[in-house]
């Protein structure tokens, strides 16, 4: 309870939950549990369009928003993915959030965070020497 009052980075605060209930209309939810809303009217609008927002499930990280919902949030698509889902191509990978700073982050060979042992040189490098 105290987390939702004081920490905006751990999901939504009580204030935004109240605003979403009072001023927003629930549109849908993605596979990560993020919930998407659209304003009931364009009273708070900057450009005569209804405002759209997301309430993150857990830590607030923008890369947790899948491409189809990102397009809807930024008015690239008029219809949300619940009405008109984005067509998936066979070569497309599944969306994954940014893993930087987590245990799942990529670490190159020789990195201290990985093994700390540098791979042996291949012998194709020649140091430059001034003549």
* Predicted local confidence at residue 32, as pLDDT: 87
Phi, psi of 62 (to 5 degrees): -60, -25
CB distance 87 to 81 below 8 Å:
no
Q: Which of 27, 28, 3 is nearest to 14 (CA)?
A: 3
Write the CB contacts of 28 (distance below 8 Å, at least 6 apart in sequence).
35, 36, 69, 80, 81, 82
- Tens digits of per-residue pLDDT, 47-75? 888 888 888 888 788 888 988 999 999 99
Verdict on whether the full-model pTM lies above 0.85:
no
Task: Give the three-class secondary structure for 28.
Answer: strand
Strands across the sheet containing 35-39: 24-29, 35-39, 52-55
* Predicted local confidence at residue 75, as pLDDT: 92
**CA distance linking residue 77 with residue 129, whole number of Å:** 57
């Amino acid at each position: 309870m105290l987390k939702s009052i004081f920490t905006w980075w751990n999901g939504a605060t009580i204030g935004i939950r109240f605003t979403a209930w009072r001023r927003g209309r629930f549109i849908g939810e993605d596979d990560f549990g993020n919930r998407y809303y659209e304003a009931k009217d364009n009273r708070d609008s900057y450009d005569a369009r209804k405002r759209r927002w997301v309430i993150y499930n857990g830590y607030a990280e923008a890369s947790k928003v899948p491409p189809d919902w990102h397009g809807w949030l930024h008015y690239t698509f008029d219809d949300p993915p619940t009405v008109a889902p984005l067509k998936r191509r066979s070569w497309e990978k599944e969306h994954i959030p940014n893993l930087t700073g987590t245990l799942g982050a990529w670490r190159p060979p020789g990195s201290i965070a990985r093994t700390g042992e540098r791979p042996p040189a291949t012998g194709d490098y020649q140091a430059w020497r001034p003549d």
